[in-house]
Amino acid sequence: MTAIAIVIAGSKCELTWSWSDGGSSDTSPTDQVILAAYCPEMRMAIFTTSGGDRSALTASLNAVTFAGKLVETYIGAISADGRNVATSIFTGEVTVS
């Protein structure tokens, strides 16, 4: 994912990513966003490989499992046909509230 800016926020036990996309020639608006959150304290991760279309510029992940915990967050993308996967990007730490 060629991201220009990524913002991660957590509220109501939901993590929300927002981004702008550089529109690289090897991306498509229909690419699916991959969202992941890892809680070091619990040594557990949650993720989705169908976080919505890249063109939506925002996506959310239910993180009720990690309520009150600090999580490390990541974003990536996969082509609609599943043949191409982008390298994930670390998007920071946030406390799930």
Contacts of 73 (CB under 8 A, 6+ apart): 8, 15, 17, 35, 36, 37, 38, 90, 91, 92, 93, 94
State the Cα–Cα distance between residues 90 and 3, nearest whole angstrom.
11
Residue 45: what are its φ and ψ, rounded to 5°? -130, 155
Domain 3-95 has CATH 2.60.40.10: yes
Domain ranges of the chain: 3-95
Kindly report, residue by residue over 26-83, the tens digit of the pLDDT: 788 889 999 999 999 999 999 999 899 999 999 999 999 999 999 999 999 999 999 9
Instruction: Give the predicted TM-score (pTM) of the model.
Output: 0.85
Contacts of 6 (CB under 8 A, 6+ apart): 17, 18, 19, 75, 89, 91
Q: What is the pLDDT of residue 29?
A: 87
**66 or 9: which carries more pLDDT confidence?**
66
